Structure 1
Amino acid sequence: MERRHEEARRRGIRLFFTGVGGQGTLVATRLVGEAALAEGLSASMSEIHGMAQRGGVVESSVVVGDIRAPIVAEAQADVLVAFEPLEALRALNRCHAQTKAVVSTSPIVPFTVAAGQGTYPNLDDVLRELKDKLAAVVALDAEALAREAGSVRAANMVVMGAVAAMDVLPIAKATWDACLRKLFPPKLYDLNQRAFDAGFAHGRP
């Protein structure tokens, strides 16, 4: 683990998050930052961009390691964290051939599609394109797993559990668990821990 810490510090790891307002993107971003810091790694987080309160697209990023700028520019993301499949497709320009991704397959149909002004792409086609262009893709029904854990509102933690299981960050499972306890109040901790563990169990590419 110590060697991996040093590698992460030296080259840095860039994570790009994308989803829709209300999916808990900010909480997920904070969890990565907290866990990295708990492991003794530098971490910087970008601001949330988008209409988080209106169901619009929300994007954020975390950079782990000795990189000053927290912004993930085009073709820079080492990890893509997508809480909605169409938004994953739209974020491909931030990725490169070695990018690894975790994608929730639970679609949120845009207002324009619901109003009959467009069509939502076929999910299989979306996942096929992602897998063709990225090094590894973990696709999981985060909403269904969260519902089994106790609440669909914990779908973001299902996704984050899968990110942890991919082992793209030098962060021990125990560190993730400790940061979950720190991040959530006691009445919400058990739910979010179960959701995280469900994602962790499904997170191997």
Structure 2
Amino acid sequence: MMQYNIYITGVGGQGVVKTSIVIGQACIKQGLNVVTSEIHGMSQRGGVVPVEVRIGDVNGPIIKKGGADLLLSFEPLEALRALPKLNENTFAIVNTGEIVPFTASLGISEYLSSDEYLSELKKYLKVVIPVNAEAIAKEVGDSILSNMVILGVGASVPNFPLKKEFIVEAIKESFKPRYVNLNIKAFEKGFEIGEANFK
């Protein structure tokens, strides 16, 4: 039976949980079993927000070590922190936009550049796709749409189990009517970028 594991990570306010809701709704529409596990208690304080989404013949919500098929990371440092869940064949879609932790701003910890985090990630993974999601989202209409850009790129990877039309339908149901078209445009733009990478 089919199993597909998606690890989504980012910082509070980036739409990590909303992205997992869209994926979950799309799974239901397509008739696929889906189980999610989320930790977002720190989301309002700019803390780390990881969500695990398991699709298909699965029971528990937790992705085993090295078991993720796809990483959707909304922040480069968080992509690197996700390594225990990844394996060399995991497709990694990584937003290059940097969110410097307050501890680094205060000089308590160190924050490297996006390029350095991506370079380190590429030592372990065969496919790492950096995406300037905020810039693309601004072209569409608003930088807040960056999560749908990342989802769009992720939906284009080989063997992704969800059909695009079901994700679009899920977006329609997951956002207020006045934001639906913008979110769909952001998703479609991300999908186009992803398709160009896999041709």
After TM superposition, the score normalised by the length of structure 1 is 0.90
Which segments of 5 or more consecutive residues in structure 1 lack a partner in the other structure? Answer: 1-9
Aligned 8 A contact 2:97 2:114 in 1 = no
Aligned twin of 1:29: 20
Aligned 8 A contact 1:50 1:59 in 2 = no
Q: Distance in 1 between matches of 2:73 and 2:191?
A: 16
Q: Which amino acid is the alignment partner of residue 89 of structure 1?
A: L
State the Cα RMSD in Å.
Answer: 1.4
Query: How big is the shift at 1:49?
Result: 4.0
Aligned 8 A contact 2:13 2:43 in 1 = yes
Matched, 1:178 2:132: no
Query: How big is the shift at 1:47?
Result: 2.6
Aligned twin of 2:44: 53
Aligned twin of 1:188: 179
Q: Distance in 2 between matches of 1:175 and 1:68?
A: 23
Query: How big is the shift at 1:185?
Result: 1.8
Give the number of equivalent residue pairs.
196
Q: Distance in 2 between matches of 1:51 and 1:142?
A: 23
Matched, 1:146 2:137: yes
Query: How big is the shift at 1:127?
Result: 1.1
The aligned runs of 1:40-189 (5 Å cut-off) are 40-189=31-180
Q: Distance in 2 between matches of 1:168 and 1:59?
A: 23
Give the stretch that moved more between structures: 38-47 or 103-112. 38-47
What does the per-residue CA deviation read over 1:49-76, in whole Å, with 9 as the maximum and x for residues that have no partner? 4401110011111100111001113211
Which segments of 5 or more consecutive residues in structure 2 lack a partner in the other structure? Answer: none
Query: How big is the shift at 1:94?
Result: 0.8
- Taking a change above 3 Å as real, the CA distance of residues 47 and 118 of structure 1, as seen in their structure-2 partners, is closer
Aligned 8 A contact 1:113 1:119 in 2 = yes
Aligned twin of 1:19: 10
After TM superposition, the score normalised by the length of structure 2 is 0.93
Aligned twin of 1:3: none
Query: How big is the shift at 1:13?
Result: 0.6
Q: Distance in 2 between matches of 1:140 and 1:179?
A: 23
Q: Distance in 2 between matches of 1:138 and 1:30?
A: 23
